[in-house]
Amino acid sequence: MLDTTAEKKQPISTTSEWTFELIQEYDREIALLAKDFGLDTYPNQIEVISSEQMMDAYSSVGMPVGYNHWSFGKQFISVENNYQRGRMGLAYEIVINSNPCIAYLMEENTMAMQALVIAHACYGHNSFFKGNYLFRSWTDASSIIDYLLFAKNYIARCEERHGVDEVEALLDSCHALMNYGVDRYKRPYPISAHEEERRQKEREEYRQRQLNDLWRTIPKLNGGKEDIPVHRFPDEPQENILYFIEKNAPLLENWQRELVRIVRKMAQYFYPQRQTQVMNEGWATFWHYTLMNGLYERGKVTDGFMLEFLQSHTSVIYQPPYDSPYYNGINPYTLGFSIFSDLRRICENPTEEDRVWFPDIAGSNWKETLQFAMRDFKDESFILQFLSPKVMRDMKLFCISDDDREKEIVVNAIHNEDGYRELRAKLAGQYNLGNREPNIQVFSVDTRGDRSLTLHHTQHQRRPLGRDTVEVMRHLHRLWGFDVHLHSLNGDEITASYHCPELGRDRSEEEESMLVPKPI
């Protein structure tokens, strides 16, 4: 700690007040360090905002522009409430995956916090957005803001033309199915707002000329024989329910299809974020920690600065134990930070255990290894690959199995030699989106009969659907316009079915509801 070359090492600032010049200087120093560490980033756009603006940003999922919807208002009110009562501090960072990468600094923060946010968001998250394969292949950083603008304007126009209520109802229904509006395999093309508008017109015209297969009433020419093999539509189950609706729902107007599409695009944009929470936060936390320490080693910051930083850092990575009243699941910051830090340790100071568990990595160049880990994985595979026994020991992880056929909960594995592998596999499984959300797919459409839509839910370890299912079915019914059925399957056995409209209701009532999707 003793600083022998004090005259050379001049701290950038000594008080907690920030100025624009200081921010610039810190940013320059951090950028230099980050370059030494080999971080590749988009250019940064750092915006200083007030706490009210931060609350606005919060409630629009961090986006600088967004369409209007009551649910964002609800979000805003609850954020405002909590903040005003002092129940929560505002997160000190919101960062947008765009090019340039936009990061918000809040004016109330001290200089140390501003520097921390710059390191965390502008170099940590930013390099993750630029490097990780999911972000590279599924989102397009340069066009997102344009697209948001297009969406906002388009929806505003629809509201003028068709009324706020109608648009709101449709958006409600789309939001209910938002998690099922994701292409997991296809890659979207980056396009600009202008281009998007042109294409939207094109799609509209195309659709008007198109014959929807569902409406085909022309008699077949084979003498009325009905023994053609029944052709199932769609040929294969469809996982992207919103896409299926956009393309095939018989009663939707063109503008409604376009709205479905907008919600679908948003879902697609956020999809990588949902899959890389641990990695993304872990990576950013690891780098703010490393960069801040780097600044300290170069004598650019004072001891007081470091203490403030460490205080904030430790509260970010605090993991309450499972039996604590504050326990709220595994803290992604803690888990990610621990794994990345331990990776660095394995590279620099490998133990015998590490050589057995990570023969390729132990003793390698840590910068390259971390880059590799950041680039080519998502949470599930990242944990499966890199969660080391030491981290499991440090976090004292254990796995329980709760089977409703058993009387008691069984402890499957704990942080010991026999348990490491199982623990790691189970934790990775927990981050598989497919396990977290029920697997529901479009199974068939009754093209010859009542045009009803049937979905199948494939149960994961016999887990049933939640209580909202009936509500969501009503939303689905509004979009589809005809009857919808959902079967929940355990293997080949149907264990539960949901219908909208519910079966056994008066038929005439149902017919009415076929024509006019009922408000929910």
Partner 1 sequence: MSYIIDRRLNGKKKSTVNRQRFLRRYKAHIKKAVGEAMNSRSITDMNKGEKISIPTRDLSEPIFSNGRGGHMEQVLPGNKEFITGDRIPRPGQGQGQGSGGSGASDSGEGIDEFVFQISQEEFLDFMFEGLELPNMVKRKLAGNDSFHVVRAGICNEGSPGRLNVVRSMRAANARRIALSGGKRRNLKLLEAELEQEESKDSALRDQRRINQLRLEIEDLKSRVNRIPFLDDFDLKYNLLIKQPRPSSKAVMFCLMDVSGSMNQATKDMAKRFFLLLYLFLQRSYEYTEVVFIRHHTSAKEVDEQEFFYSRETGGTIVSSALKMMRDIMRDRYPASEWNIYGAQASDGDNWNDDSSTCHKILINDIMPHVQYYSYVEITPRDHQALWEEYQSVAQVFPEHFAMEQIVDVQDIYPVFRQLFTQKVAV
Kindly identify the residues of this chain, within the stretch 46-75, that bind partner 1 according to CB under 8 A: 46-50, 52-53, 55-56, 59-60, 68-75
State in angstroms the smallest separation of the CB of 172 from partner 1.
7
Residue closer to partner 1 (CB basis): 355 or 463? 463
- Out of 423, 442, 445, 500, the residue judged to bind partner 1 by CB under 8 A: 423
Residue closer to partner 1 (CB basis): 178 or 214? 178
Q: Alpha helices, DSSP H only, in 317-377?
A: 332-348, 352-357, 366-375
Long-range contacts of 4-10 (CB under 8 A, 24+ apart): 5/299, 6/299, 8/299, 9/298, 9/299, 9/300, 10/299, 10/300
Residue 409 sits in the site that holds partner 1 (CB under 8 A): yes
Q: Would you say 129 and 135 are in contact if contact means Cβ atoms under 8 Å apart?
A: yes
Helix axes 332-348 and 277-297, enclosed angle (nearest 10): 60
- Out of 8, 87, 407, 507, the residue judged to bind partner 1 by CB under 8 A: 407
Q: Would you say 175 and 272 are in contact if contact means Cβ atoms under 8 Å apart?
A: no
- How long, in residues, is the chain? 520
Give the DSSP letter string of 263-306.
Answer: HHHHHHHHHHHHHSHHHHHHHHHHHHHHHHHHHHHTT-S-HHHH
Residue 362 sits in the site that holds partner 1 (CB under 8 A): no
Q: Please tell me whether residue 388 adopts helix, strand or coil conformation.
A: coil
Residue 469 sits in the site that holds partner 1 (CB under 8 A): yes
Helix axes 277-297 and 379-386, enclosed angle (nearest 10): 60
Only segment of 249-257, 291-299, 319-327, 339-347 that touches partner 1 (CB under 8 A): 319-327
Residue closer to partner 1 (CB basis): 269 or 498? 498
State in angstroms the smallest separation of the CB of 405 from partner 1.
8
Residue closer to partner 1 (CB basis): 202 or 471? 471
Only segment of 1-9, 228-236, 373-381, 416-424 that touches partner 1 (CB under 8 A): 416-424
Residue 384 sits in the site that holds partner 1 (CB under 8 A): no
Q: Would you say 46 and 27 are in contact if contact means Cβ atoms under 8 Å apart?
A: yes
Hey, which residues does 106 pair with through a beta bridge?
A: 49
Only segment of 78-86, 217-225, 249-257, 302-310 that touches partner 1 (CB under 8 A): 78-86
- Let me know if 429 is exposed, middle or buried by CB neighbors in 10 A (0-12, 13-18, 19+): middle
Rounded to whole angstroms, the Cα distance separating 406 from 408 reads 6
Q: Would you say 12 and 25 are in contact if contact means Cβ atoms under 8 Å apart?
A: yes
- Out of 400, 503, 505, 519, the residue judged to bind partner 1 by CB under 8 A: 400
Residue 339 sits in the site that holds partner 1 (CB under 8 A): no
State in angstroms the smallest separation of the CB of 202 from partner 1.
30
State in angstroms the smallest separation of the CB of 76 from partner 1.
4
- Out of 10, 17, 20, 210, the residue judged to bind partner 1 by CB under 8 A: 20
State in angstroms the smallest separation of the CB of 2 from partner 1.
34
Residues 108-147 binding partner 1 (CB under 8 A) are 122
Helix axes 254-275 and 164-176, enclosed angle (nearest 10): 40
Residues 152-171 binding partner 1 (CB under 8 A) are 164, 168
Only segment of 8-16, 174-182, 293-301, 358-366 that touches partner 1 (CB under 8 A): 174-182
Residue closer to partner 1 (CB basis): 75 or 381? 75
Q: Would you say 468 and 436 are in contact if contact means Cβ atoms under 8 Å apart?
A: no
Residues 427-466 binding partner 1 (CB under 8 A) are 427, 429-430, 436-438, 440, 459-466
Residue 319 sits in the site that holds partner 1 (CB under 8 A): yes
Residue 267 sits in the site that holds partner 1 (CB under 8 A): no
Dihedral of alpha carbons 50, 55, 60, 66, sign: negative
Rounded to whole angstroms, the Cα distance separating 413 from 399 reads 5
Only segment of 86-94, 183-191, 299-307, 405-413 that touches partner 1 (CB under 8 A): 405-413
State in angstroms the smallest separation of the CB of 276 from partner 1.
18
Rounded to whole angstroms, the Cα distance separating 313 from 411 reads 32
